[in-house]
Structure formats: structure tokens, C-alpha cells
Amino acid sequence: MLRPAKESDIPSLQAIGKTVGLFDYGFLYQKFVRRNLVFVMELENQIVGYVIAFPLFLGQGFCLQIGVSSKHQGRGVGTTLMSFIEKQMREHHQTYRLFAHTIKDRSLAYFGKKLMYRPWFNLFGLTVIYKKIA
């Protein structure tokens, strides 16, 4: 089940993020959740993945983080979350281009091959990628 995150979900988001090597945004998670910018995927009453994305300006959006628990990687959770957030950004924020970033080659390959994101630029090992979603 996909749903908006609640403040009580924050420890689960942080735990998933920590196990897969994502940056912990600490108190900012509350702000993201309160602004309805975080969505979680639940299986059997357990959060197995989440995505944080927000509109920028002029039809642009940014996927700040996507995390999937180690046990659930390779099962379509990340793909489902990204498809959902692309639709959400397009329909609720009139976004036509979504950006994301990655520092891991494996993540870049996932986004590039499976989700059709293209590299925009690389700076100090950080690759910014994008996809036209509308």
C-alpha cells in the first residue's frame, strides 16, 4: 500500500535510509511529512520504502531521496515508488521534469536503464539526472 507518510513513520524512514547509506535529514523529515512530500510503501504493516520529492519552480521537481529496505530491493518497490511520485508531481504540482541525484553507480544504472532518467551533469562524484515526466 502506498500512502502519505505520518510523523510516526519517521524512525522507519531513518532506519531504511541508514541501512542503505542515505543522508539523514533529521528534523527536516517532520517538515517534509507535514507538507505531504513523503510517501511510503507498506507491506504487511511494515514500511519497506519511501520517497521524498518536491516542486522547485517553472515546472521542475526534485526527488530528494528514495529508500528501499535491503530485504525488499529488486522486488519492484523502488520502481513503484518512482512511478507514483512522477504521477503525483505531474498531477498535483504541474511538474514536467523531475530531477534526482546519485553518487552510486548502481543507483545511476537503475535510474538510467529501468526508469529512463538521463544524466544532466556530474560534479565531484555526484550525478544529477532527470526525466521528462509530462
Domain region containing 95: 2-132
Average pLDDT over residues 115-126: 86
69-80 pLDDT per residue, tens = 999 998 999 999
Q: How does 3-30 read in b/e, with b if 16+ C-beta sit within 10 Å? A: eebeeebbebbbebbeebebeebeeebe
Mean pLDDT of the chain: 91
Domains: count for the chain: 1
The CATH number of residue 6's host domain is: 3.40.630.30
